[in-house]
C-alpha cells in the first residue's frame, strides 16, 4: 500500500482527502457555529398620538432600549397607512382622543389591520365605559400616559407577548365612577401655571410671568400634579390635555 501511494504521487495524482478527517472538521465547524447565539428580534411597536410631547418622550426612552423598534404616527389615518405598508407590528398603541379615533371604534380598526397582533389604548383618564368596551373588542388593554417609563417598557413587553394588561388603579370602579373629566379640578391660578408649563417654561420664568414668588410656583406645580395624579410636570400637561381642561 505504501508503494502504491508513492507511485501515485510520482504521476502527479493527488490522494483523495481522508473522509473521516473531513467529517471531523465539518463537525468542529458545526459545533463552533452553534455556539454563536442567535440575534434577538426587536419588538416592533407603533405609537400613535397627536401630542408631539408624548411621542417624543416615549420614542426617546424606548429607542434607547435595544429590544424595541419604535415607529410613531400623529393620528389614526397615518397609523393605518403605516400599518398597511410596514405592518403588522408586535404592538400598536393608539391615543384615545387623537383625530380619527371616534372613541374606541378607532382601536377596533387598528385591531382589524394589524394582522391579528395586539393593539392597546394609550390614555390617561379612561372612563369605566371605555374600559368595558376595549375589553369586549379583544384589545390588549390600556397603558396609562402617567405610568413610569420603567413600567411602560414592562407593559409593552407583556402585551407584545400576548398578555392583556389593565392598570390596577383602573380596576377600582369607584375611582372610575367618581372621576369627572368634564370639570377641571384645578383652581384659576393653577390653570394659569399649567398653561405656562405646557409652553415648557421653568418655574423661574413662570414666576416672573405671573408676578409670583418662585416658591409659590413650586407649590402650585406640586398641587397640580397631585390633583391630576401625575408624577411630574410633563405628565400633568399630558393628563390635562387628555381631560380637555386646557
What are the cell numbers at 72?
Answer: 410613531
Nine cell digits for residue 100: 380619527
The predicted structure's pLDDT at residue 110 = 93
Determine the average pLDDT of the residues in 214-230: 89
Q: 67 and 44 in contact (C-beta within 8 Å)? A: no
Q: What is the mean pLDDT of residues 215-224?
A: 90
Distance CA 206, CA 202 (A): 6
Q: How far, CA to CA in Å, does 245 sit from each of 84, 165, 194, 200?
A: 35, 27, 10, 18
Three-class secondary structure of residue 75 per DSSP: coil
Q: What is the pLDDT of residue 117?
A: 93
CA distance linking residue 198 with residue 238, whole number of Å: 9
Strand ranges inside 49-199, DSSP E: 68-73, 91-95, 119-123, 142-144
Q: What is the pLDDT of residues 73-101, one digit of tens each?
A: 999 999 999 999 997 999 999 998 898 88
CA–CA dist 183, 203 (Å, integer) = 26
- pLDDT tens for 23-67 read 555 544 444 443 444 456 889 999 999 988 888 889 999 989 999
Q: Is the pLDDT of residue 178 over 50?
A: no
Model pLDDT, residue 23: 52
Mean pLDDT, all residues of the chain: 79
> Residue 18 is placed in which grid cell?
481522508
pLDDT of residue 43: 93
Place of cell 411630574: 232
Task: Give 172's pLDDT tier (boundaries 50, 70, 90).
Answer: low
pLDDT at 171: 67
pLDDT in tens, 111-145: 999 988 999 999 887 877 788 888 888 899 999 88
pTM, two decimals, is 0.61
Amino acid at each position: 500500500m505504501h508503494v502504491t501511494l508513492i507511485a501515485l504521487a510520482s504521476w502527479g495524482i493527488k490522494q483523495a482527502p481522508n473522509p473521516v478527517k473531513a467529517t471531523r472538521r465539518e463537525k468542529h465547524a458545526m459545533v463552533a457555529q452553534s455556539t454563536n447565539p442567535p440575534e434577538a428580534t426587536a419588538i416592533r411597536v407603533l405609537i400613535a398620538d397627536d401630542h408631539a410631547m408624548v411621542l417624543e418622550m416615549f420614542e426617546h426612552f424606548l429607542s434607547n432600549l435595544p429590544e424595541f423598534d419604535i415607529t410613531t404616527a400623529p393620528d389614526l389615518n397615518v397609523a393605518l397607512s403605516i400599518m398597511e405598508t410596514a405592518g403588522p407590528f408586535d404592538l400598536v398603541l393608539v391615543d384615545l382622543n387623537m383625530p380619527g379615533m371616534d372613541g374606541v371604534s378607532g382601536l377596533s380598526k387598528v385591531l382589524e389591520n394589524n394582522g391579528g397582533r395586539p393593539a392597546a389604548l394609550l390614555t390617561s383618564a379612561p372612563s369605566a365605559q371605555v374600559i368595558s368596551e376595549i375589553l369586549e373588542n379583544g384589545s390588549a388593554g390600556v397603558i396609562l400616559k402617567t405610568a413610569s417609563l420603567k413600567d411602560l417598557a414592562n407593559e409593552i413587553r407583556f402585551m407584545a407577548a400576548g398578555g392583556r394588561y389593565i392598570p390596577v388603579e383602573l380596576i377600582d370602579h369607584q375611582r372610575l365612577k367618581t372621576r369627572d373629566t368634564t370639570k377641571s379640578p384645578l383652581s384659576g391660578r393653577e390653570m394659569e401655571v399649567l398653561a405656562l408649563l405646557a409652553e415648557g417654561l421653568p418655574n423661574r420664568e413662570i414666576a416672573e410671568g405671573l408676578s409670583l414668588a418662585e416658591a409659590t410656583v413650586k407649590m402650585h406645580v406640586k398641587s397640580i400634579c397631585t390633583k391630576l395624579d401625575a408624577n411630574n410636570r410633563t405628565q400633568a400637561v399630558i393628563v390635562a390635555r387628555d381631560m380637555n381642561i386646557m
